[in-house]
Chain A
């Protein structure tokens, strides 16, 4: 499966970059995201509860970054296990470009889905991925727009921020988080399946 997403955001690229710098933003904005942790220099783990219609599955995913070219582009590979539901594995190329009135985040993801999700849900995969990506960006814009509450996860975010503050990366490592942020978009693109 190949997924192409492009989303124009009414926000300056730097702002988006900085926001994606914050894992708590991502956790708050990724639909169904339950956790989001750094496990190694270029490796991160996320837990996402994907829900499409009557079907739900909890995925644990790993994201590894490659070909980093801050602040414009990078690639990543990701894989996630959803227990009975199956698994997802793939890679994505992400770009941030300045556009009029803001910036555009583009992502081309290649994903392989396996297990029951692939056997049962092929008709819904593209639509679910598109929907999840849209929800992420909607949440993101809303979050950045200062309207404050991107849904229920906001409360949890506040609590979790304290933790992450202790281990927050130095400013110079901002690009790492940005990459991970978009990377998780890739993951959820692929997660959002059935």
Chain B
């Protein structure tokens, strides 16, 4: 990697100030994507602002209606939290299937959501469960958060503080892992909530997206059969050596049905 300045602030304000002081400063949370880019010399931030020492960014709080997860909470902390498992088992399952143990012990929910990798798992949870992203400036509804490939509604200097997940009636996340990377070739989070059914897809498009046609079909009849004939349009889906757009579109339907069957 190229040389860079390293900072380890202990408060959000300090972090924001540091990030604002340099044009090419970059925040680092768990670093599971950024470190690889640095090692390959494909990213060259002048300053690296490590958020790891900001205590208020970590932790899990569950009340009857909401699970609040601090941005710096690690995947394994979510996966192994008995409170999360009790309130939203689908979320604990999802976190427990990210990468491997090394990744889960370092990678963070805030880092994953802010990065918005097209194949990351967490965006499906944020969007599928209808979560709210709390930043140092505002609250952003999931539907407004994911914009495009690696692009979110976050503005420069805006940091995720926590993600608020409303507890669904039932939900499930089913992913089909890309064989090499084990990222989601496609992944589907389905949730029956107080406000209806939400169904979000990751891995298949530029960023996580909802499938309204499936949601509508499931609102009337929450069963796998209800969406058997509902296909997503392959045109805009990702294409690589592991999956053609047509295959991904097919997988979305298969996984959506499996998720509906698994929802609890």
Contact A124 B149 (CB under 8 A): yes
Contact of A57 among B42, B115, B149, B242 (CB under 8 A): B42
Chain A interface, number of residues (Cβ within 8 angstroms) = 20
Contact B40 A126 (CB under 8 A): no
On whether A53 and B150 interact (CB within 8 A), knowing A85-B42, A120-B40, the answer reads: yes
What is the CA–CA distance of A54 and B149 in the complex, to the nearest angstrom? 11
Contact B206 A130 (CB under 8 A): yes
Question: In this complex, what residue of B is CB-closest to A194?
Answer: B42
On whether A123 and B238 interact (CB within 8 A), knowing A54-B34, A56-B43, A84-B42, the answer reads: yes
Kindly state whether residue A170 has any CB partner on chain B within 8 Å: no
Give the residues in chain B near A42, CB-CB below 8 Å: none
Contact B240 A52 (CB under 8 A): no
Contact of B117 among A53, A56, A57, A131 (CB under 8 A): A53
What is the CA–CA distance of A122 and B116 in the complex, to the nearest angstrom? 17
What is the CA–CA distance of A85 and B42 in the complex, to the nearest angstrom? 6
What is the CA–CA distance of A127 and B148 in the complex, to the nearest angstrom? 9
Nearest CB on B from A134, distance (A) = 8
Contact of B44 among A52, A56, A134 (CB under 8 A): A56
Give the residues in chain A near B89, CB-CB below 8 Å: none
Chain B interface, number of residues (Cβ within 8 angstroms) = 25
Kindly state whether residue A162 has any CB partner on chain B within 8 Å: no
Nearest CB on A from B4, distance (A) = 13
Contact A127 B118 (CB under 8 A): yes
Contact B149 A52 (CB under 8 A): yes
Give the residues in chain B near A194, CB-CB below 8 Å: 42
Question: In this complex, what residue of A is CB-closest to B31?
Answer: A54
On whether A131 and B206 interact (CB within 8 A), knowing A122-B240, A123-B238, A124-B149, the answer reads: yes
**A-B contacts, 30 listed (Cβ < 8 Å):** A52-B149, A53-B37, A53-B116, A53-B149, A54-B33, A54-B37, A54-B43, A54-B115, A54-B150, A55-B37, A55-B42, A55-B43, A57-B42, A84-B40, A84-B41, A116-B42, A120-B40, A120-B42, A122-B240, A123-B119, A123-B240, A124-B149, A126-B239, A127-B118, A127-B149, A127-B206, A131-B148, A131-B149, A131-B206, A134-B148
7 new A-B pairs (CB below 8 Å) besides A56-B43, A131-B206? Answer: A53-B33, A53-B150, A55-B42, A56-B42, A84-B41, A130-B206, A194-B42
